[in-house]
Structure 1
Amino acid sequence: MDDSRPSSASGFAAVADALRALTFRDDFIVREIAAPASLAPDAVAFAGDVRPSADGGDSEYGTGRFVLLHDATEPDQWGGAWRIVCFAQAPLEPEIGTDPLLADVAWSWLVDALQSRRAEFHSASGTATKTLSKGFGSLGVEGDGAQIELRASWTPSGDLAAHVGAWAELVCMLAGLPPGSEGIAVFGAQRSSRD
């Protein structure tokens, strides 16, 4: 660590420890994963799965990643010392995947989740991608499939735990679990071996 960043390492460590201590709804399991080393001097990353399978792979209902980056030099494109990068993905029914507003809705769910937690942010950017697939040959038995994927980044301010909570809500929303639906059955999850 560079000693020219007074207390930044200890400050980041305290924030990372606080995020590690967060709890989530029972049907959303979060674990720490290796953070990318090339994006910032300090980083911590988490993976979250909606009702994960026993084998520990990505959930057939929805999955996501959350990365908190810290750079005391405050890169111009960030507009601050902190940056969040997140990913959320969930399978859909094929007829939902054809909705022309689906990508807009996915982005609005992220913004709504941030705003409902008073998680202040700026310099947001991202993409929402919907994918339709059809199996052929031996994969034909799997039928048609669809998937929504959101990748986003933003510069947070205030309580960073609120930003993690918003990401968790987004992953659950994409998986069909709106706030207050803990313990409710999830129907129609499709995930092919092609994913």
Structure 2
Amino acid sequence: MTAQPDDGTLFDAAVAELRETAFRADIAVREITTPQSLAPFAIALAADVRPDDTGDSVYGTGRFVLLHDPDAPAPWDGPWRIVLFAQAPLEPEIGTDPLLADVAWSWLVDALDSRDAIYHSASGTSTKTLSKGFGGLAVEGDGAQIELRASWTPEGPFRPHVEAWAELVGMLAGLPPGSEGIAVIGARKAARD
């Protein structure tokens, strides 16, 4: 792919598009410091599902990074790349489901497809973990967590991609679409120290 000259105006337009995106009321999204040296241009967002007064969430969290490199790195197969992270605690019974990792990835694909987000060169991992506390952590009991890391090369507008990410973060936390104000399903509601 031939590199397109860019003085940052394409990236500035993309940033404006992301900043104008409205998110559901029970997911708090904020701009955060971008990772260094990944690309000449980058913007990063963080999301927390139903954060408490300190800004922490016991339900789930996520990160969305939009990268732009006018030189179109070969692995990206284009000048743009989206990198995301999403994780949520689960009830241990849900964490033992053998299809959980596959379901988490399918939720990302479904969220992108439902918004007509055009993309290619997708890759990622879906990880489920089970834990058991011992000694001083025994009071925390058993736990489980689902984590999704993914990246892809977007085409067209960026808003559908960031909306799909926000939906994924909510779904991993047990929030079905349009469920603002409804109790979270299946999330482990452990107290934080």
Distance 2:25 2:136 in 1: 37
TM-score by length of 1: 0.93
Letter in 2 for 1:93: E
Work out whether residues 145 and 190 of structure 1, in 8 Å CA contact, stay in contact via their aligned partners in 2.
no
Question: Equivalents in 2 of 1:167, 1:13: separation in Å?
Answer: 20
* Corresponding position of 1:170: 168
Give unpaired runs (5+ residues) of structure 1: none
Inter-CA distance 178–8: structure 2 relative to 1 (3 Å threshold): farther
Residue 148 of structure 1, CA deviation: 0.2
* 1:22 shift after superposition: 1.3
What residue number does 1:30 align with?
29
User: Shift in Å at residue 183 of structure 1?
Assistant: 1.5
1:157–1:191 Cα change, 3 Å: farther
User: Alpha-carbon deviations, 1:16-55, whole Å to 9, x = none?
Assistant: 1221121101000100000112110000000001001111
Partner of residue 45, structure 1: 44
Structure 2 counterpart of 1:130, which letter?
K
TM-superposed CA distance for 1:193, in Å, is 5.3
2:8 counterpart SS class: helix
Offset from partner CA, 1:106-163 (integer Å, 9 cap, x none)? 0000000000000011100000010100011121111100000000000001110000
Q: Partner letter of residue 20 of structure 2? A: A
The one-letter code of the counterpart of 2:102 is: D
Identity among equivalent positions (%) equals 68
Task: Answer yes or no: is the 8 Å Cα contact 2:68–2:79 preserved in 1.
Answer: yes
1:192 deviation in Å? 6.5
Tell me which residue corresponds to 1:127: 125
What's 1:18 paired with? 17
Residues 146-185 of structure 1: matches in 2 within 5 Å?
Answer: 146-185=144-183
Cα drift, residue 7 of structure 1: 3.9
Contact residue 58 and residue 192 of structure 2 kept, 8 A: no
Contact 2:6 2:70 survives alignment (8 Å): no
TM-score (norm 2): 0.94
SS at match of 1:32: strand
Aligned pairs (5 A) from 1:70-81: 70-81=68-79
Structure 2 CA distance for aligned equivalents of residues 181 and 161 of structure 1: 21
Change (3 A) 1:99 1:75: same
Q: 1:137 aligns with which of 135, 138, 159?
A: 135
The count of corresponding residues between Structure 1 and Structure 2 is 190
Q: Deviations over 1:43-91 (max 9, x none)?
A: 000000100111123x100100000000001111001000000000000
Structure 2 residue ranges without an equivalent (≥5): none
Deviation of 1:189 (Å) = 2.5
C-alpha RMSD over aligned residues? 1.6
The match for 1:112 is: 110
What is the DSSP-based 3-state SS (H/G/I as helix, E as strand, rest coil) of the residue aligned with 1:115? helix
